[in-house]
Amino acid sequence: MLTVHHLGISQSDRIVWLCEELELPYTFVKYDRDPMTRMAPAAYKALHPFGTAPVINDGDLTLGETGAIMEYILTKYGKGALVVGPDKPNYADYLFWFHFANGSMMPAGMVDMVVGMIGGDADLLKALRARADTAHAMVEDRLGKAPYFAGDDFTAADIIMLFPLTTMRAFAPRDLTPYPNIRAYLQRIGARPAYQRAMAKADPDLPPMLT
C-alpha cells in the first residue's frame, strides 16, 4: 500500500489530492513544520536524500519529486484516469501544463518569494518578478479558453498546477483580483469532493486559498 508523507503546507498536498481523486487506499502520515524555522522537521528530511516534500513509500520503494510521484501513481494505479494519451488532440496541452507547474511557474514564484525577503537592486527585482507575472498571465489566458488546463476535462495537470495558484501564496503573496479566469477556475476546483477531502486531511487549519 502507498504511504504518503505529507509535510504541512507544502507541495505534498498534491499527492494526497491525487490519491483522493483516484480513490486509492493509502496510509497518510503528517509532519508539522518546525515552529521556529518553518522548515521540515528532521524526521521528514530523513525520508529522502534530498529532504524535501513530497515523499511516498510503496513497499520497499521510496520516491520523491512531485512530478515523478504523480506519474508513478497514475501509471501504476490510475488505470488511465486523469491523463491524456498521445492519440488525443489535447495531449500537448496536457504535457505542457503538467510540466510548466514545477518547471517554470514554481521557480518563478520562489524567486518572487526570495527577492521579497532579501531585497536588492530594484531593476533586477523587477526583471525577476516579471517571470511570475508572465506565468500568471499565461494561466489567465489559458483558463479563458478552456475550463481546465488540458481542455474540457479535469486531469492531473490541474492537480499539479493548483499549488502555485493557492498554497504557494502563503509564501509568496499575490492578489488574484486582476485574474477573473483564475478565480473562476479556483471555485470549480474548490467544489470537487476529492479536493475538499484532501485539504481537510492535509491542512485542516489552513483555509483553502481559492480567492
Helices (H), 29-84: 42-45, 66-77
Q: What is the dihedral of CA 45, 30, 78, 94, to 10 degrees?
A: -70
Task: Give the torsion sign (CA, 135, 207, 73, 88).
Answer: negative
pLDDT of residue 108: 87
Which CATH number characterizes residue 10's domain?
Answer: 3.40.30.10
pLDDT tens by residue, 149-184: 999 999 999 999 999 999 999 988 899 999 999 999
pLDDT tens by residue, 16-32: 999 999 999 999 999 99
Q: For residue 101, what are the domain limits?
A: 91-192
pLDDT of residue 118: 60
Amino acid at 199: M
Which CATH number characterizes residue 180's domain?
Answer: 1.20.1050.10
Confidence of residue 138 (pLDDT cuts 50, 70, 90): very high
- Statement to judge: residues 113 and 20 lie in one domain: no
- Statement to judge: residues 69 and 137 lie in one domain: no
- Statement to judge: residues 98 and 28 lie in one domain: no
DSSP label at residue 151 = B
pLDDT tens by residue, 97-115: 999 999 999 998 887 676 6
CB 159, CB 18: distance < 8 Å: yes
